[in-house]
A = this chain, B = another copy of it.
């Protein structure tokens, strides 16, 4: 089935409609559809949610740690970071939240939030109350299946993040961070083949990968000196993708080989019970 067709069938005002919920073009739909194919009914179920816009200005919190949660938030446009603040004044950035992400999924299912999310530019998003979210999952199995995959990707990204900080050298961490950010943006159509633009400061990057901002600066300079990347202002170019890959041991979650299993395609593994 062609997703673009159903898109057009849903658009209220046809191709030119600009205020209407142009559902199939939404990065969230792009992402889910890339994991599990959605049909017209799925899109119809999502339409009311994705039609309600909410804008959080740059620098304002979207969710705040230890406050009661009011639902989940689907990001339409704009970037945010999720972080935890410690009593010693340090900050750990857990990740960049990009269009198509759900802020705090699955972590916002708890009664009170475990993280804070703040926009690093104006963020346009949709709030979905917990029970509305439940209703949709119940009614549309394809959507809940896709969300299970979202959770799996999320867990794998977090695991890789731990590995970065715990056991990789700073230059490898930074390379990995840049590759992962690029891959995620690419999956929702927000990056070209080898460059992307995100308003991340070196301090945010340091708080993400466990370095001081001054060391991020030195390590980034090193990557540039070796001709692996270039950056100016907020745009990063990956000049030598292969070099970066082997430096960072990066393995993309988004390659087609990692897609959901089909029944009946299992293979035996050596040294396996």
Partner of A68, one of B106, B151, B266: B266
A111-147 to B contact mask, C-beta < 8 Å, 1/0:
1101100000000000101110111011001001001
Min CB distance A211 to B, Å, is 9
Any B CB within 8 A of the CB of A47: no
Any B CB within 8 A of the CB of A272: yes
Any B CB within 8 A of the CB of A180: no
Chain A residues 57 to 104 lying within 8 A of chain B, measured CB to CB, are 60-64, 67-70, 84, 86-88, 90-92, 94
B112 & A258 in contact (Cβ 8 Å cutoff): yes
Min CB distance A104 to B, Å, is 9
Q: Chain B interface: which of A18-26, A156-164, A186-194?
A: A156-164
Q: Is the interface of A mostly helix, strand, loop or mixed?
A: mixed
A167 & B106 in contact (Cβ 8 Å cutoff): no
Partner of A166, one of B92, B147, B155: B92
Q: In the complex, what residues of B have CB within 8 A of residue A166's CB? A: 92, 165, 207-210
Q: A167-B92, A258-B111 are in contact. Are A130 and B268 (CB under 8 A)?
A: yes
Q: In the complex, what residues of B have CB within 8 A of residue A261's CB? A: 69, 109, 111, 130
Q: A134-B268, A165-B210, A266-B129 are in contact. Are A114 and B68 (CB under 8 A)?
A: no
Bound complex: CA of A127 vs CA of B273, how far in Å?
10
